[in-house]
Amino acid sequence: QKEVEQNSGPLSVPEGAIASLNCTYSDRGSQSFFWYRQYSGKSPELIMSIYSNGDKEDGRFTAQLNKASQYVSLLIRDSQPSDSATYLCAGVTSGTYKYIFGTGTRLKVLA
């Protein structure tokens, strides 16, 4: 069973701190990874995608991929209360178009 695992949380961080969200995956064939943010009652919204080992930065967000250790992480710098949401990690094996989603980590940013 190919899986993507995330800690369900909630992860609570104070406003202005760095939030670190982690995800591990079991399928070594997974090559592309995606982070989605989902507010309560809304649909998932794409935040970051990453394909290569290392870090990828976009504004306050940094995605990190380590294929040898099979983990993906998302760092949110200067966390804001508006970042409070569930963050979904997904992996896909190149060319298959079948996403495997984790169950999500609920983030709470405390004002």
Partner 1 sequence: KAGVTQTPRYLIKTRGQQVTLSCSPISGHRSVSWYQQTPGQGLQFLFEYFSETQRNKGNFPGRFSGRQFSNSRSEMNVSTLELGDSALYLCASSLGAGEGLLQETQYFGPGTRLLVL
Q: Which residues bind partner 1 (CB under 8 A)?
A: 32, 34, 36, 42-46, 49-51, 88, 92, 94-104
DSSP string, 8-61: ---EEEETTSPEEEEEEES-TTEEEEEEEEE-TTS--EEEEEE-SSEEEEETTE
**CA 18 to CA 109: how far, in whole Å?**
10
Please state the closest distance from residue 60 (CB atom) to partner 1, in A. Answer: 20
Q: Smaller CB distance to partner 1: residue 8 or 80? A: 8
Q: Smaller CB distance to partner 1: residue 71 or 99? A: 99
Q: Using an 8 Å Cβ cutoff, are 55 and 64 in contact?
A: yes
Q: Smaller CB distance to partner 1: residue 33 or 79? A: 33
Please state the closest distance from residue 42 (CB atom) to partner 1, in A. Answer: 8
